[in-house]
Amino acid sequence: MMDGKLILSKRKRLPVIQNSEKASIFDAIKNMTFNELTSLLNDIDDEDIKYIYEGIKMNMAVAHIGLDPDNDYGLGVGKTIFKMIKSDDLSALPLKIKAYAAAAADARMAGISKPVMSSAGSGNHGITAILPVYLVADFYKKTMEETAKAVTLSHLTTSFLKSRTGRLSPICGCTVAAGAGAAAGITYLLSQDMTKVEDAIEIHVSNLIGMICDGAKDTCALKVGTGAYEAYNAAMIALEKNGHDIPRGIIGETLEETVDNMAELSNKGMKNVDTIIISLLQNNIL
């Protein structure tokens, strides 16, 4: 999406929402199944690939600024984690993903005057949705088209989850929704298996569903880093799985049911969380 408009659907259109001239893109996505939404991947063309790569470059540039030892942004989460990396092999990739994502959030939450590509209306969502997928694609030397499709799937998945929970929710969208998007993108990049993609989303949501949002601040870098790191782990587990498990916990028979369960937990089960957080924040200020 760009400026509230879908850029990937030049031939396939989202369903029209009746009786609402001002219906948002989220309203349209909320009325689609995951398969219907992700079928938009078939419509990607060279212009879309170019646009996606502009976003990748934006977010990588901010990550590099956050990793620069001469800069001091926020808690320095990304820089600290990056120091733990001792090699360039596969074993270092999860930590690299966490370091880059956290570093970008460090810089962004410190107010750096640089743009990032957002996802589902959030810059930190965009960092989480894009960087893990790109770093895996770069490691495996994937083509521009393969990479762009995987990043696009990450955006679509993020929007799919956010359309159910709402733009603002007690659950940390950077970690849960955008992290699930990254898990989907990585899994698709390495398998093109949509069944495993759905497995990765459910594994990621099962892991981090309880992480709350307590406002935008420097510690968002911790959560962005966690979402990115666990997205990679969820993808790796999904790639090793054989078949679906029976429903358990909030996991339903279908991905749609799982996301609806997640939304119910967020919107109804945690309805008092925002009020309590606001009260705590006010007490800290006073």
User: In the prediction, which pLDDT does 118 show?
Assistant: 96
* 189-234 pLDDT tens trace: 999 999 999 999 999 999 999 898 888 899 999 999 999 999 999 9
Tokens of 216: 């935008």
Is pLDDT at 64 greater than 80 in this prediction?
Answer: yes
More confident residue, 27 or 254: 254
- Span 238-276, pLDDT tens digits: 999 876 666 688 899 999 999 998 888 887 777 777 778
* Cα dihedral across residues 192, 198, 199, 203: positive or negative: positive
Q: Kindly report the pTM of this predicted structure.
A: 0.88
Nearest to 263 by CA among 168, 181, 194: 168
Read off φ and ψ for residue 212, nearest 5 degrees.
Answer: -90, 160
Q: What is the mean pLDDT of the chain?
A: 89
pLDDT value, residue 265: 85
Residue 262: partners with Cβ closer than 8 Å, 6 or more residues away: 161, 164, 165, 171, 176, 205, 209, 250
**Which domains does the chain carry?**
44-285 (1.10.4100.10)
